[in-house]
Structure 1
């Protein structure tokens, strides 16, 4: 009993600690006050479930260990197809190759996984790859102190944009008077890898919040903004800045990189039948996932409306990094709203991992017990 409590407190699985304490207390109470057969039977009942709870906890879920050297484009950790019998669950990570390890490790460390009586497979299935955008050469033109100082701010809204911008300037930016605004902690960290100091981070890691909170220049002077972005990024920043009537922003947008859908191999597509939860880090990953699902199902020749009627997404729960990606899942018409999970506040790797773990718990509930949380 005390071993069980120690193990679950160490794992932060307090839900089971509460259950076991209640069952043990009921057993103890009935034994010490037992003067009838009914109370002895009741005590035996609670003792039985107390023992079952402990034994089941000792064989609870375990996660296939992650070896970063074994991340392959085949999306199979072990190098062979993963089979998913009744006691297994599988999570697919869809970011581009080599960029899944942070969310992978955060999900593996989530305490919810230790509460599931199932083996959990974590596999990489990259849905997108990055390519140079049409304006990449124009960014290089600004890569000097004299040219970049045409702008008061550079706005960076993704780690990939931070990488492209950092590689373009290669350490020459620090002498500039131009300030850098990053959408969140992950983007700020990516900029720091190029020794680029961030001057502004919004209170919430979204484009809407950044546009609403970016400091304007005094006396309504024009604030010139450079925005190196993905070609597929929406106009959230531009629209948000233009909506601020008391400020005066002029934005130059450069599409410095693009996200290109990855085409799955036959071996990768065979994993669709095994995957329970797919982790999406961008709307582009959602679109690429659905494109590959359509190929797998043979529905790629149908119209968008016809594909919505079919409604198949590969049979997975969607665990999204934030609201924009979750909205893409919802607007695709291929997921039920209660099958889309995302952090409503403070988006980031840890909150994304928590949403993924919640999705996995619900997938386990629906898959094995026919219900849902």
Structure 2
């Protein structure tokens, strides 16, 4: 079904380009004009990936590998065998599960870190938690409170991407801006300030919470990270 309310709307997508293709295509199918303007970059962690490489080379000591983002599962996937010798795999949501490039063993009922930690199957084996370098630590804390033995490792870090003047002007002129993470919102606020007066659509409750903490008014929350769910949320804004 075509979302006619999106026709002609300029929608800025702020994720890294490689992660924006599917949403850009979905929006184009509804007649929108997608603008891919990444606000963050995904880079090696500050130790240049040493700890991550070490953990991956010793992956057989873990009963589970748990990823809290698609960036993490994409990084981990090449190190994980696709046979019975591999650890069990857990992902925070469907997009993260897809990053493993094979069937996963556990996805929580809601795509949030807290739900993942609360619903994660209890185990006596060690768990490797693959995540960004800077996190709230809530997932690991909740798992440990439930008696799970957890090793944390940073697979990547997110850094603010400095925008060109033309990109800032495009963002400010957009009818809506889509955010997938608190890092992207922080980048937006630091570079665009309070000058934007269009619609703000965020993906998931963690991003919504980050927006609230930064004083950003959110027009709609996409309840799932799929292109269809995001387009539906945007369509509701302009209906």
TM-score past 0.5 threshold: yes
Q: Please show how residues 207-356 of structure 1 align to structure 2 within 5 Å.
A: 207-217=113-123, 222-244=124-146, 248-294=147-193, 312=194, 314-335=196-217, 339-344=218-223, 346-356=224-234
How many aligned residue pairs are there? 238
Find out whether 1:105 has 2:7 as its counterpart.
Answer: no
Separation in 2 of the partners of 1:142 and 1:241? 19
Q: Please show how residues 1-373 of structure 1 align to structure 2 within 5 Å.
A: 11=1, 63=7, 89-109=9-29, 120-134=32-46, 136-144=49-57, 147-167=58-78, 169=79, 172=81, 174=83, 176-192=85-101, 196-217=102-123, 222-244=124-146, 248-294=147-193, 312=194, 314-335=196-217, 339-344=218-223, 346-359=224-237, 361=238
Given that 1:231 and 1:256 are in contact with CA atoms closer than 8 Å, whether structure 2 keeps it comes out as yes
Using CA pairs under 8 Å that are at least 6 residues apart, name the structure with larger relative contact order, 1 or 2.
2
**1:260, distance to aligned residue in structure 2 (A):** 1.0
CA offsets, 1:1-48, max 9 Å, x none?
Answer: xxxxxxxxxx467xxxxxxxxxxxxxxxxxxxxxxxxxxxxxxxxxxx
Given that 1:153 and 1:226 are in contact with CA atoms closer than 8 Å, whether structure 2 keeps it comes out as yes
Greater Cα radius of gyration, structure 1 or 2: 1
Given that 2:95 and 2:225 are in contact with CA atoms closer than 8 Å, whether structure 1 keeps it comes out as no
Separation in 1 of the partners of 2:50 and 2:98? 25
Which runs of 5 or more residues in structure 2 are unaligned? none
CA offsets, 1:130-181, max 9 Å, x none?
Answer: 110135212212334xx222222110121111111124x1x54645352111
Given that 1:313 and 1:334 are in contact with CA atoms closer than 8 Å, whether structure 2 keeps it comes out as no
Separation in 2 of the partners of 1:215 and 1:326? 27
Which runs of 5 or more residues in structure 1 are unaligned? 1-10, 14-59, 64-87, 114-119, 295-311, 363-373
Distance 1:254 1:322, change over 3 A: same
Separation in 2 of the partners of 1:179 and 1:313? 47
Q: Runs (4+) of structure 1 moved beyond 4 Å?
A: 60-63
Q: What's the C-alpha RMSD, in Å, of the aligned pairs?
A: 2.4
